[in-house]
Structure 1
């Protein structure tokens, strides 16, 4: 269902933390023109944690309206409360999204059985296909392979893909061995995307694609051979630089370099990146040939 380079979109805020719709629409147009194959509004990089529910799905609606069906929209919709998660999926559907991106419950720290039951409760009434999002470094909840396989096997028409930010590459093979090649596996780590694709992945939900959408799209289109390796090497320093301080501070700083005038405000508790981080981003952009 999904493949290629899929940006986890930043949300443009002004200096007062207000959403800047015009800049968001411009960002979406640029992303589509540069070759991004889908869009993810209001995920981690989109600062969903600091959006109210009304804001979150109003922004999703803007994304859908601007995309106009040219690429799919996968709306961030996860929650640590199963009832809220169900309501979020419904809101994403109402906003026009094509799928929902769902983290497992965070903070609560459910067991593997709790993770399964959470998604099992969402599946029967879900109006959208769901992309599972496993990011244990943020959620402190890891969807282990046997649990993911159990979820997908029980509800194959609902759970159509995974964004895997666990960093454990052998999971791609474990998932594929149990679920077959039809289950869509997307890397959640730009720096591992080449290796991820080599063992069966089909794309990346990417932070770097905010800043370098054409290069990331070309990288995904290149497969896993020498051309892909050359693009990986060209982008590697930038991949690393965008996480030299709390994300999305560095990527928003980078946006001001490649899109002058881009509103790069952040909502607390997120803050501007440090001087060292800004220097790393500047170097990464230069090595990638973007400035």
Structure 2
């Protein structure tokens, strides 16, 4: 359940910024039909920073309902306050989610000991499997391999989404953790190399709009068919990069709207719509990747 291409799902909203059930249903069906391994609901790409806790819970539970047991759902449960992360995690006990993705506490810039104690406290307050999430560019703190190794010994911390793009960390962590500890890429552009080094998959932004291609690439890589996997990845590389021309999820929401996966590309402030220049580059990336629809002009 924690291998292959797992989508960091966008959270669709209507023109007024309210959660759009029909678009979310369309997205869930898209991933079921295209073989995505799992959905991560309300992570960074799902705009967790601008949803309140009630909305956060609602979107995860709605995703579970709409998935109807046909695709596993992982809940984003990170927060910059340990008590808030524990509270959010507890809301999903016995809900049907298969685990939690918990980002490092943002803004506070805790020490490595603070990070260890944060995740330890969450672990002690739930039976749900916990996946650590390290993305220093967004959070302002870096969960170092030595701390990951220490945390891997706790009962229900089962893996890490490592989004630094630093491939040297794969071996550094892998050599010191239990063989069952799961390493997952959080960076689409280096995910193939991450899997080659022993990773089990990727929690992907690109999969929002190239679900079949990302899953195929991951499955080939996990089967060690690296040449075939590389051929797919080469076609997607410009798209991987283009989806981060502006802060995520600005570009990917615009593309999802253009591909008729969602009805509106609404974002909540302080996020603003993709610029004209970014949109032009995104269309070029879609054409290069052969992910194009007649609706794109």
Question: How many residues in Structure 1 have an aligned counterpart in Structure 2?
Answer: 289
Query: 2:295 is matched with which residue?
Result: none
Query: 1:134 is matched with which residue?
Result: 134
TM-score, structure 1 length as denominator? 0.96
Report Cα offsets for 1:101-135 as digits up to 9, x if no partner.
Answer: 10111111110000001111111221311010000
Following the alignment from structure 1 to structure 2, what is the Cα–Cα distance between the partners of residues 44 and 112? 22
Report Cα offsets for 1:144-193 as digits up to 9, x if no partner.
Answer: 0000000112x1x3111111101111111111100143211110000001
Following the alignment from structure 1 to structure 2, what is the Cα–Cα distance between the partners of residues 208 and 108? 29
1:269 aligns with 2:267: no
Quickly say closer, same or farther: Cα 1:260–1:187, change in 2 above 3 A: closer
TM-score, structure 2 length as denominator? 0.94
1:128-277 alignment runs, 5 A limit: 128-153=128-153, 155=154, 157-223=155-221, 224=224, 225-259=226-260, 262-277=263-278
Q: After TM superposition, give the deviation of residue 261 of structure 1 in Å.
A: 5.6
Q: After TM superposition, give the deviation of residue 95 of structure 1 in Å.
A: 4.3
Identify unmatched segments of 5+ residues in structure 2.
293-297
Q: After TM superposition, give the deviation of residue 93 of structure 1 in Å.
A: 2.5
- Whether the 8 Å CA contact 1:246–1:273 is kept in 2: the answer is no
Query: 1:15 is matched with which residue?
Result: 15
SS at match of 2:40: coil
Report Cα offsets for 1:15-51 as digits up to 9, x if no partner.
Answer: 2111101110111011111010000010000001110
Following the alignment from structure 1 to structure 2, what is the Cα–Cα distance between the partners of residues 191 and 40? 19
Deviates more, 1:132-141 or 1:173-182: 173-182
- Whether the 8 Å CA contact 2:152–2:178 is kept in 1: the answer is no
SS at match of 2:43: coil
Q: After TM superposition, give the deviation of residue 92 of structure 1 in Å.
A: 2.5
1:69-148 alignment runs, 5 A limit: 69-93=69-93, 95-148=95-148
- Whether the 8 Å CA contact 1:15–1:266 is kept in 2: the answer is no
SS at match of 1:93: coil
SS at match of 1:178: coil
Following the alignment from structure 2 to structure 1, what is the Cα–Cα distance between the partners of residues 185 and 7? 12
1:52-71 alignment runs, 5 A limit: 52-71=52-71
Question: How large is the Cα RMSD of the aligned pairs?
Answer: 1.2
- Whether the 8 Å CA contact 2:107–2:140 is kept in 1: the answer is yes
Query: 2:280 is matched with which residue?
Result: 279
Q: Which has the higher helix share?
A: 1
- Whether the 8 Å CA contact 1:7–1:36 is kept in 2: the answer is yes
